[in-house]
Structure formats: C-alpha cells, structure tokens
Amino acid sequence: MTAAILIAAAVFFFPAAMALAASMDVVTMTIPNRVCAALAIGYFVLAVALGLPAQTILVNLTCGAAVLAATFGMFSLGWIGGGDAKLAAAIALWLGWGALLDYSLSAAIYGGALTLAILLGRRQVLPLWLSRHAWIARLHDSKTGVPYGVALAAAGMMFYPQTEIWRAAAGL
C-alpha cells in the first residue's frame, strides 16, 4: 500500500467505525457484530501495514482480550449489552493498556451524561411528530436501555490520536 492510502486508512477507518457503531446503537439499540469484527480486523491490517512491532500488536491484543473478559462478565450480570462489550474490547485493542484507564473513565463520564440526558428527555412528553419515528419512540421508552455505544465511541475518539497506529501513520 502506498503511504497516502495508509495515512488515509489510519485517519478515517477508526472514526468511521466509531460513527457507525454509535449511530447504529442510537437507531437500533444494537451494535452489529460485523462492526466490531471490522474494527478488530482493521486494527491488525493497519498495524501490520504501518509496521508496528509484533510486541506492540500482541500487547494491545492482551488489552482487548482483558476488556472482552471484563465486559463479558458485565454483560452476563445484565449491566451492559453484548454489543457494548464487544465494542469496548475492539476499541481497547486499538488504544492499548496505556490509554485504557483514561478511556474507561471518559466512557463512564460520557455514559453518565448520556444516561442523564435520556432520563431527563423521557420525563418530557414526546411530541407526536417525533413519536412517528420508531427509533426516537424507542429511545423515549422507559423500558428501553441507553445506547451506551455512543459513550464508548466518543471516548474512543478522544484517545485515538494517542494510539500507536496514529503515531505510525503520522511518521510516514
């Protein structure tokens, strides 16, 4: 691959995947497996193409695996959705251990703000013209959860410029 294509892929792939995951979660309350799988595969393809050391790739793999194990536990307890668990793990793969604590804290803060906003919105009467949109009515329904993928994606975007992939692309 040429340097320009690698830089473009590094600049656009992760943000596009974050936007897709967040928007799918808002509209459907699910994050498709193919989005999380594409993130994981995209990491490996870009990491190898950009020449990241094998040790860096393996260390980030352990980070993603650890987050998957932790979030699977949260999923089994009913605390988060399965798509959220897989998305958090895929994002952790890209970010690595160095950003994991800050990422997790940021995702929790964004998730809390999102939850409060949705809960406050649910206290309001939904105008008829908005209730005609199924996804808006679903978000307004108190029996529906919170599209936490939005918070995960926002936090991921916050720390993406600090990743090894970003630095490798900037060094081309």
Question: pLDDT per residue over 63-119, tens digit each?
Answer: 999 999 999 999 999 999 999 999 999 999 999 999 999 999 999 999 999 999 999
DSSP-derived letter for residue 124 is: S
Report yes or no on whether pTM surpasses 0.85: yes
What is the structure's pLDDT at 32? Answer: 96
Contact call for residues 94 and 43 (beta carbons, < 8 A): yes
Spatial CA neighbour of 9 closest among 54, 53, 39: 39
Burial of 119 (0-12, 13-18, 19+ CB in 10 A): exposed
Cα–chain center distance at 136 = 21
* CA atoms within 13 Å, Cβ hemisphere of 164: 24
CA terminus-to-terminus distance, the chain: 12
* Cβ neighbours around 166 below 10 Å, total: 17
pLDDT band, residue 172 (cuts 50/70/90): low
Burial of 66 (0-12, 13-18, 19+ CB in 10 A): middle
| Token representation of residue 124 | 């309001």
Question: pLDDT per residue over 13-71, tens digit each?
Answer: 999 999 999 999 999 999 999 999 999 999 999 999 999 999 999 999 999 999 999 99
| Cα–Cα distance for residue pair 8/24, rounded to 1 Å | 24
At residue 2, does pLDDT exceed 90?
no
Amino acid at 158: M
Q: Is 120 helix (H, G, I), strand (E, B) or coil?
A: helix
